[in-house]
Chains A and B, each alone.
Chain A
Amino acid sequence: GQNIDQPTEMTATEGAIVQINCTYQTSGFNGLFWYQQHAGEAPTFLSYNVLDGLEEKGRFSSFLSRSKGYSYLLLKELQMKDSASYLCAVTDSNYQLIWGAGTKLIIKP
């Protein structure tokens, strides 16, 4: 079956760096998304990786290794507003979007 694994919950300190991992086993691969979802709000798009490597967007970076079935989202200079759930999703070879259960990130002062 198809599966995406990410930690259920992580805690980090304001101003620090945190890395949220996502591993996937899917039938083929056509890209990987990261979304941010604040409690009670809509998921919002953060990044899309289809090629190996690191993509940086301000304080957020996303990394992909297709050979390892692995991605991470790196958040730098953490702010309290970064407290949210982070959803990993993979588009498979049939262009179906497979979702992870999300990682709840708690930021402490």
Chain B
Amino acid sequence: ETGVTQTPRHLVMGMTNKKSLKCEQHLGHNAMYWYKQSAKKPLELMFVYSLEERVENNSVPSRFSPECPNSSHLFLHLHTLQPEDSALYLCASSQTLDRTYEQYFGPGTRLTVT
């Protein structure tokens, strides 16, 4: 595997379910990001990790819980979601936290909350 991978690619869940999204980067990068992408809206940055430490949490509801067990893996744990949480969730990584470095994105998880 190369680049950034995400699983699952598609997820349908009810509002009472608990599920997790997984991201893995094979680039040796130090920074990882979770984004939410909704139709016709800018990417929304949710969480930022640097070397497994959470450095940004952008007012994300507590029903989204990130986890970064090591610098290559990132999870997003989901519970009691709302229909408005349906979106494409993108994981990205970059060499450092410096936002002048390009970010490498995974293909995303298309989440539908019913």
Q: Which residues of A contact B (CB under 8 A)?
A: 4, 8, 30-31, 33, 35, 40-45, 48, 50, 87, 89, 91, 95-102
Contact = CB atoms under 8 A, between A and B. Distances in A.
Given A30-B100, A40-B108, A42-B4, 15 more contacts: A30-B99, A31-B99, A35-B105, A40-B110, A42-B90, A42-B105, A43-B105, A89-B43, A95-B97, A97-B103, A100-B42, A101-B40, A101-B41, A101-B42, A102-B40
Contacts of A100: 42
A40 B107 contact: yes
A48 B108 CA distance: 23
Interface of B is mostly: loop
B41 A95 contact: no
Contact of B45 (A50, A95, A97): A97
Contacts of A98: 42
A57 B91 CA distance: 26
B66 interface: no
A95 B103 CA distance: 14
